């Protein structure tokens, strides 16, 4: 008789499909739906992608929550729902995904940080910046420990944290986070122009709200010289 593998080993093997990008094993229906969703998303047909990823998730419903067919479907569907502005539907998907990844990988894995950052983005879009702040802080802490304080992913979380604080009216705290994200991004080679412009625009806004109009004008001018304008906080 073949010995049974420990549950932890089974869970690690299951999540390997998401972490390492390998395939799942749930049959043709799941694979066909995922392929259709990826193709539709690549072609800009986001509504079609959402329907396909939802079909993939439905095909995986009988599997354990930690199975890669489930986690990859949740990740893909949550992302396209976010693109479509269907944030109330995206939030529970990312929440369940984060729970599964933390159970499998532990509380300090960078893949978990990515999921937490996605959840934070959705919560901020839902008008819940206090909830978003907590998720951003967890993501930043994980990325700082695993990737380093000056990594590009860390800057993503730091900038998101700034936007959550910005939306809560905590302008001085938001300024601190934006300035840190700006320092990280300016040191990257090459610096990411759209992200730099976004951070500069948002930094200009919080500086202006603190009554420093001249400095805000200089930051806004820098943003215009870097790239397209920012997304709102």
Instruction: Encode pLDDT of 156-210 as tens digits.
Output: 999 999 999 999 999 999 999 999 999 999 999 888 889 999 999 999 999 999 9
b/e per residue 19-37 (b: at least 16 CB within 10 A): beeeebebeeebbebbebb
Structural domain boundaries in the chain: 1-106, 127-233
Share of the chain above pLDDT 90, in %: 79
- CATH fold of 127-233, please? 1.25.40
4 confidence band (pLDDT: 50, 70, 90): very low
Please give the Cα distance from 152 to 224 (Å, whole number).
Answer: 22
Q: Is 90 exceeded by the pLDDT of residue 5?
A: no
Tell me, what's the pLDDT at 233? Answer: 63
Q: Is 70 exceeded by the pLDDT of residue 22?
A: no
Over residues 5-32, the mean pLDDT reads 51
Same fold, 1-106 and 127-233: yes
| Cβ atoms within 10 Å, residue 133 | 22
Calculate the average pLDDT of the chain: 88
226 confidence band (pLDDT: 50, 70, 90): confident
- Residue with the larger pLDDT of the pair 53 and 27: 53
Measured distance between the N- and C-terminal CA atoms of the chain, rounded to whole angstroms: 58
Tell me, what's the pLDDT at 17? Answer: 44
Tell me, what's the pLDDT at 3? Answer: 36
Tell me, what's the pLDDT at 135? Answer: 98
- The angle subtended at Cα 124 by Cα 119 and Cα 126, nearest 5°, is 95
Please give the Cα distance from 87 to 85 (Å, whole number).
Answer: 5
Architecture of domain 1-106: Alpha Horseshoe (1.25)
Tell me, what's the pLDDT at 61? Answer: 84
Lowest pLDDT segment from 89-93, 119-123, 185-189, 229-233: 229-233
- Residue with the larger pLDDT of the pair 214 and 192: 214
Q: Is 80 exceeded by the pLDDT of residue 64?
A: yes
Q: pTM of the predicted model, to two decimals?
A: 0.84
Tell me, what's the pLDDT at 80? Answer: 98
Please give the Cα distance from 152 to 141 (Å, whole number).
Answer: 14
Q: Is 90 exceeded by the pLDDT of residue 88?
A: yes
Give the sign of the dihedral formed by CA 186, CA 188, CA 189, CA 190: negative
Tell me, what's the pLDDT at 228? Answer: 56
Indicate left, alpha or beta for 231 from its phi (over 0: left) and psi (-120 to 50: alpha).
beta
- Phi, psi values for residue 28, rounded to 5°: -70, -35
């Amino acid at each position: 008789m073949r010995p049974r593998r420990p549950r932890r080993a089974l869970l690690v093997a299951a999540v390997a499909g998401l972490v390492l990008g390998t395939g799942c094993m749930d049959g043709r229906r799941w694979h066909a739906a995922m392929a259709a969703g990826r193709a539709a998303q690549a072609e800009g047909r986001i509504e079609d992608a959402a329907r396909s990823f939802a079909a993939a998730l439905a095909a995986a419903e009988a599997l354990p929550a930690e199975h890669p067919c489930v986690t990859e479907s949740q990740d893909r569907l949550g992302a396209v729902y976010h693109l479509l502005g269907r944030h109330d539907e995206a939030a529970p998907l990312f929440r369940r995904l984060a729970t599964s990844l933390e159970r499998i990988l532990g509380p300090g894995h960078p893949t978990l940080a990515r999921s937490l950052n996605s959840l934070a983005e959705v919560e901020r879009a839902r008008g819940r910046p206090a909830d978003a702040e907590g998720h951003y802080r967890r993501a930043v802490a994980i990325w700082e420990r695993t990737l380093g304080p000056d990594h590009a992913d860390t800057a993503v979380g730091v900038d998101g944290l700034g936007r959550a604080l910005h939306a809560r009216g905590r302008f001085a705290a938001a300024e601190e986070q934006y300035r840190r994200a700006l320092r990280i991004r300016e040191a990257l080679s090459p610096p990411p122009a759209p992200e730099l412009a976004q951070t500069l625009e948002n930094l200009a806004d919080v500086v202006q709200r603190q009554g420093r109009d001249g400095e805000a004008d200089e930051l806004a001018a820098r943003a215009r010289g870097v790239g397209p304008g920012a997304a709102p906080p």
